Amino acid sequence: MATILSLPGKKPIWGNNCFFAPNATIVGEVTMGDDCSIWFNAVIRGDVHFIKMGNRVNVQDGAIIHCTYQKHPTQIGNHVSIGHQAMIHGCTIHDDVLIGMGAIVMDECVIHSNSIIAAGAVVLEGTIVEAGTIYAGVPAKKVKDISPEHISGEINRIANNYVTYAGWYQAAIDESGTQP
């Protein structure tokens, strides 16, 4: 069963049809919308500030979402995919964004809609990522604009696929009776 912990005055809240892997951890002031999925070994820790996530957000295996004590919450829009082992900290991510595997997005960053942060990229503190772009590298810089086909073919496809995957896993858990 996923570890879901409340702290004084801070309780995780989620919408309909959410899936939490058996070893996912969700702590404190975390709010998420409908059709979200939190995968194996992912940690979402709203202990020192709030974390708000929209609908159809998937936080893949080993990813970490945190914030900065009393300074920088983390806000994530709708249709966002956070890749395996990515780290999201005290930033704002708008709708329809793909954060690649192992990417790091630091405090006070703003990732605008229809953007991709490439795998392994490090988005330094305070960086503003333009809408409709791909940022890559260390430190992350704009490498190109995204075509509408790439938005539907990658960003939307991955977000939609994770809703499907979550359904498979939830059905398996329901069948085995290992998680309420």
Residue 148 makes CB contacts below 8 A (sequence gap 6+) with none
User: What pLDDT does residue 6 have?
Assistant: 97
pLDDT tens for 148-162 read: 888 888 899 999 999
Residue that is written with structure tokens 């951890």 in the block: 25
Q: Which residues in the chain come in under a pLDDT of 70?
A: 177-180
Question: CATH second-level architecture of 3-176?
Answer: 3 Solenoid (2.160)
pLDDT at 177: 67
In Å, how far from its chain's centre is CA 74? 10
Residue 154 is predicted with a pLDDT of 87
Q: Where are the alpha helices (DSSP H) in the chain?
A: 148-150, 157-176
Q: Which of 77, 76, 122, 124 is nearest to 103 (CA)?
A: 122
Residues facing 128 on adjacent strands = 110
- 112-132 pLDDT, tens digit per residue, is 999 999 999 999 999 999 999
pLDDT at 180: 42
> What are the extents of the domains in the chain?
3-176
